[in-house]
Amino acid sequence: MSFKKIFLVVGGIVIFVASMGFVYNLVSRPPEKTNEVILYYGDTCPHCKNVEDYLSKNHSVEKKLSLVKKEVYKNRDNANDMGIKAEICQYYNPAGIPVPFFYNKGECLVGDKPIIDYFKKIK
């Protein structure tokens, strides 16, 4: 094999490996934090109802946070979005992501008590 052929083969391999590394980096990169404040809930979830009851008695919390509510049991897009937010927070549960799930600018809380305790500090 001539030097030119070896150079072309090695160069091709280097370019291929570099491009695969670039693609892998794009695919495996975790999602970036957003400035959203979202309460994910299920419409028949009793713990979500506790959070909803608290919010209905404390309207100022929703206004101060600019809180967005997203139902996940019936809305697949919202459930997928919740999964992305859980990934941002590096939250992993082999049984799935429970609701209520609260996302606040890159921080996450799970469960009615921690979420309500957080809201009490906002009031």
Q: Within a 13 Å sphere around the CA of 34, how many CA atoms are in the beta-carbon half?
A: 12
Give the tens place of pLDDT for each residue, 9-55: 665 575 666 555 544 544 455 677 878 999 999 999 999 999 999 99
pTM of this structure? 0.75
Structure tokens at 24: 């892998």
